Amino acid sequence: MEFAFYFASGVAVVSTLRVITASNPVHALLYLVISLLAVAMCFFSLGAPFAGALEIIVYAGAIMVLFVFVVMMLNLGPAVAQQERAWLTARIWIGPSLLAIALLAQLLYVLFSDPSGATLGQTSVSPKEVGIALFGPYLLAVELASLLLLGALVAAFHLGRHEAKE
């Protein structure tokens, strides 16, 4: 599974780079979908198929659809691609690149200080274990998240209701 992991993570890195550099917004979103699928593959190869499947269902299958939906409505044409290209000058790259290099250095340090790769695909976490963990030690977090979602639902309903009918 080690090969699968490195392959999928390579795809994820390249496609994420293309998300940033693509000048057409819809093409950038397509690369983002591919990047999410590659991250899901990483989860699969690390022995967490449940997390991988949820990553595809929730992020690639639902959230990204809404992103694409909104961008499609904006009717972006060649003019926007032109503008995007003008914005992506070399000067803009300095700050984000420095931050990314700092993260990369940290990642490399962790990888080389513990090079055994012992956690790679040694155990497989089944959906049942995830459920038991969520409703055992992490019960409070689940309840807080459900409260937040309920609040968001009520807010969305309030914003979307028709005032004229009432």
Partner 1 sequence: MSWLTPELIDVIVQVLKAIVILLVVVVAGALLSFVERRLLGLWQDRYGPNRVGPFGMFQLAADMLKMFFKEDWTPPFVDKPIFTLAPVVAMSSLLIAFAVVPVTPTWGVADLNIGLLFFFAMAGLTVYAVLFAGWASNNKFALLGSLRASAQTVSYEVFLGLSLMGIVAQVGSFNMRDIVEYQQQHLWFIIPQFLGFATFFIAGVAVTHRHPFDQPEAEQELADGYHIEYAGMKWGMFFVGEYIGIVLVSALLTTLFFGGWHGPFLDALPWLSFVWFALKTGFFIMLFILLRASIPRPRYDQVMAFSWKFCLPLTLLNLLLTGTLVLATQ
Q: Kindly indicate which of the ranges 14-22, 55-63, 132-140, 152-160 contains the residues binding partner 1, using the contact rule CB under 8 A.
A: 55-63
Shortest Å distance, C-beta 124 to partner 1: 8
DSSP string, 94-149: HHHHHHHHHHHHHHHHHHHHSTT-TTTTS----HHHHHHHHTTTTHHHHHHHHHHH
How many residues touch partner 1 under the rule CB under 8 A: the total is 25
11, 31, 12: which is closest to 21 by C-alpha?
31
- Residue in the block written with tokens 């009918």: 165
Q: Residue 65 or 92: which CB sits closer to partner 1?
A: 65
Shortest Å distance, C-beta 68 to partner 1: 5
Amino acid at residue number 18:
R
126 binds partner 1 (CB under 8 A): yes
Considering only 28, 54, 88, 120, the residue that binds partner 1 (CB under 8 A) is 54
Shortest Å distance, C-beta 133 to partner 1: 16
28, 16, 8, 2: which is closest to 103 by C-alpha?
16
CA dihedral sign of residues 37, 40, 41, 42: positive
* Whether the Cβ atoms of residue 93 and residue 17 lie closer than 8 Å to each other: no
127 binds partner 1 (CB under 8 A): yes
Q: Residue 83 or 126: which CB sits closer to partner 1?
A: 126
User: For residues 82 and 64, what is the distance between their CA atoms, to the nearest angstrom?
Assistant: 24
Q: Residue 70 or 104: which CB sits closer to partner 1?
A: 70
Residues 16-35 that bind partner 1 (CB under 8 A): 24, 26-27, 30, 33
156 binds partner 1 (CB under 8 A): no
Residues 79-118 that bind partner 1 (CB under 8 A): none
